[in-house]
Chain A
Amino acid sequence: AQSVTQLGSHVSVSEGALVLLRCNYSSSVPPYLFWYVQYPNQGLQLLLKYTSAATLVKGINGFEAEFKKSETSFHLTKPSAHMSDAAEYFCAVSESVSGTASKLTFGTGTRLQVTL
């Protein structure tokens, strides 16, 4: 069974500082991995996805993530935080097996706070 663990339910950074949100996955087959962001009272917006094409994935709003198979990790980073980055971030996994791969399994989310 696939699963995702997000370390740290709350992360606080200063504006301009590095953002690092951690995600570890467990999957019996090569996974597809996603990061989504959710702003208050809104749905989920896709930030980036990993589908085995490249281990370093660049997404929107300056975010990127690196897939490390040896560490079963897919951490999200941004070099310089902006106030508008304050939101909740979800890591999700989908197995690359046709027929059973339709569902996303989400982590518990990390709330990012950006302070002045």
Chain B
Amino acid sequence: KAGVTQTPRYLIKTRGQQVTLSCSPISGHRSVSWYQQTPGQGLQFLFEYFSETQRNKGNFPGRFSGRQFSNSRSEMNVSTLELGDSALYLCASRHSDRSVYEQYFGPGTRLTVT
């Protein structure tokens, strides 16, 4: 079974632009979560989607948004990019929205904002 895939793997954007990142979960997984990883703040939860509905949201500004499609694929969007948005963005999928099920992570998208 294929793992979680994320595209693109690397991205360079200019401050003020917007960006869309994509995540395809493991087949059969209906829950997709997004995390931001930076050297200063570590791993922080952005949001989770389950069956196309946002189930939980972290403490990030409204510039960060996401959505999930009927095939469970998910996208996250960051508008009006700031230098501090440079990070590794990780997507994770889970079989259901119950916490007993572990999350499987993709390789991440490395976003650099200049």
Contact = CB atoms under 8 A, between A and B. Distances in A.
Interface of A: 32, 34, 36, 41-46, 49, 51, 90, 92, 94-109
Given A103-B58, A105-B45, A36 B97 contact: no
B107 A43 contact: yes
Contacts, number: 63
Q: What are the nearest 4 A-B pairs in CB distance?
A: A101-B99, A43-B105, A106-B43, A103-B45
A91 to B, nearest CB: 11
Q: Tell me if B's interface is mostly helix, strand, loop or mixed.
A: strand
Given A102-B50, A102-B55, A106-B42, A42 B100 contact: no
B38 to A, nearest CB: 12
Interface residues of B, number: 26
Contact of A108 (B33, B42, B56, B105): B42
B108 A95 contact: no
